[in-house]
Amino acid sequence: MFLTDLPAAARALARGLTTSRALVEAALRRYEETQPTLHAFAWLDADRALRLADDADRSSAARGQIGPLHGVPIGVKDIVDVAGLPAERGSAVFAGRVAERDAALVANLQHAGAIVLGKTITAELAYYHPGPTTNPHDASRTPGGSSMGSAAAVAAGIVPAAVGTQTNGSIIRPAAYCGITGLKPSHDRVPVDGVFPFAPTLDHPGALARTVEGCAWLLAAMCAEPLTDWWAPSDAVPRFAALRTSEWEDAEHAMRARFQADVDRIATLGGPVEWPDPPDGLDDGPAILQTIMAYESARTVALAIAGHEAQVSAVALELFARGAAVPERDYRAALAQRDRLIAEYTRWVAPYDAILTPPAVGEAPSRETTGSPRFCSRWTLLGAPAVTIPTGRGPHGLPLGLQLVGAPGDDRRVIVAAAWVEARIGWRAESVP
C-alpha cells in the first residue's frame, strides 16, 4: 500500500500514480477507524489536512514536485513545535499552548513538501508517565514511550512516518513494541531548535516508519540533507558484533531466544558475527545517563513547570528532585566519563558495521507503564546511531525486534547494515486490528 510505506508513497506521488488528497483521505479514514481505541493523536484537523493536500496537488500540477516528500502526510510528536498548532507536551501545565513558529526540523520537512497531518501523543513531558495511546496490536498493552503516538500512528497505518524523540529509549522502545522501524540518529545530527528540551546532552530527534529506508527518507528531510547522506543500500555483507550487555538477565526468555535466533540467522546468511568483550566502562553507561538526565531535566523541564507542580506526575517530580540534589561536580564528572566512554567505544566499534543487541526487555507490557528503556540507555548516552527492526512475535503475539548500533557520527553505515538485515530477516505486520 502506498500509504503505509514512505518511499513508496513519495514515489507514487512523483510518478502521478496517486494524489496527496488520496493519501490524506486514506489517512483520515484510518484515523477515524482507530482513534477511539488507539488515541495516537493529540490534535488533528481534517479540514486543514485536506486543504494542504489540495494545495500540494495544485502546486504539483503547476510546477512539479517541490521536494522529496511533496504531498506525503506525516505525524509530529507533540513536543515538537508546528506554527499555529497546539503543542501541549502531554501535560496539563501546557494546556492551550499554541506554537508560534516551526521547529527547525519541521520547517525542513515542510520545505521538503511533507504535510503535518497532526500532532501525536507524547508521554507526559516526554518522560515515563503514560499518555492515553494504546498498542495497535493489543489495546491492553503500552505502545512504549515517550514517542508513543508516533509509533502507534505508523504501526496502525495512519501515516507512513512520524517524528519522534529519544532522551533514553523513546524511539527505539516504542518502535520495538509496535512492530515498526525506529531510527535514532547520532546526537546533534538533527536540529533541536523548537523541540521541548528535556536533557540537552541526551535529546535526539529521530524517525519512525515501516522500513529502514522510510526512516532514512524522513531523517534526510528533517536535516535538509540529500537522501544519499543517509541512504546508500549495498549488497556488501556487513560485519557485525553481538552484545548481550549487563542487562541480559533482565530480558524476558522470549526476547533472549529471539535475539539468539536473529544472530544465528544473520550468521547463517553470511553476515560475519563476532562476540567480542565489551569496551571498558560500557556497562557503566546507564548509571552515567541517569546522572546527566536527572541533573539537566531539573534545570530545563523543572524550570518550565515551576509553580505548576500539582499538575505533574509523581514520577516526573521524583526525577527533578533527584536531579536538583546532584552536585555540579558530580554532573561534570559524569560528562567526563561519557566523553571517555565515547572515545573508547568509537575505537572499539570501528571494525564493525553494527552492533547487534536487544531493543527492549521483551514484548510490550501493560499500559500502566511505558516499559523499560534499559537496552537503549548506554547507546543514547554515547550519542550513537541506533536502528530497531521487527523480526518476529513473542508468546502473546506481540512484536519483538533487533537493535543495531553504530559508531557516533557514522549513521549511514549502520543504516546500510540495518537495511541488509531487514531484507533478510525482517518481519512486517501488514495490518493490525
pLDDT in tens, 295-321: 999 999 999 999 999 999 999 999 999
Q: How far apart are CA 360 and CA 365, in angstroms?
A: 11
pLDDT at 427: 85
Interhelix angle for 104-111 vs 212-222, to 10°?
Answer: 110
How high is the pLDDT of residue 429?
56
Residues 146 and 172: beta-carbon distance below 8 Å: no
Sorted by where each begins, the domain ranges of the chain are 6-229, 240-425
The pLDDT value recorded for residue 64 is: 65
Q: Select which of 20, 60, 77, 184 is catalytic.
A: 77
240-425, which class in CATH? alpha beta
- 86: which strand partners? 98
Q: Is 372 a catalytic residue?
A: no
pTM here? 0.97
Active-site residue (options: 20, 60, 91, 146) = 146
What does the pLDDT read at residue 61?
74
Residue 201: phi and psi, rounded to 5, are: -65, -20
Q: Catalytic residue at 366?
A: no
Q: Report yes or no: 92 and 131 within 8 Å, Cβ to Cβ.
A: no
Catalytic residue among 91, 170, 186, 372: 170
Dihedral angle computed from the Cα positions of residues 411, 105, 92 and 183, in that order, rounded to the nearest 10 degrees: -20
**DSSP letter assigned to residue 179:** T
Fold for domain 6-229? Amidase signature (AS) enzymes (3.90.1300)
- Residue in the block written with cell 544473520: 266
Same fold flag, 6-229 and 240-425: yes
Phi, psi of 57 (to 5 degrees): -65, -40
The reported pLDDT for the residue numbered 431 is 45
Buried b (16+ CB within 10 A) or exposed e, 233-256: eeeeebebbbbbbebeeebbebbb
The C-alpha cell that represents 139 in the structure block = 489495546
* Inter-residue contact 360 to 176 (CB < 8 Å): yes
Taking alpha carbons only, the member of 46, 52, 160, 167 closest to residue 113 is: 52
Q: Specify whether 184 is catalytic.
A: no
Query: For residue 39, what pLDDT is reported?
Result: 98
Residue 249 CB partners (closer than 8 Å, separation 6+): none
pLDDT tens, per residue, the chain with 433 residues? 456 899 999 999 999 999 999 999 999 999 999 999 999 999 999 999 999 999 999 998 767 667 999 999 999 999 999 999 999 999 999 999 999 999 999 999 999 999 999 999 999 999 999 999 999 999 999 999 999 999 999 999 999 999 999 999 999 999 999 999 999 999 999 999 999 999 999 999 999 999 999 999 999 999 999 999 999 988 899 999 999 999 999 999 999 999 999 999 999 998 889 999 999 999 999 999 999 999 999 999 999 999 999 999 999 999 999 999 999 999 999 999 999 999 999 999 999 999 999 999 999 999 999 999 999 999 999 999 999 999 999 999 999 999 999 999 999 999 999 999 999 999 875 545 4
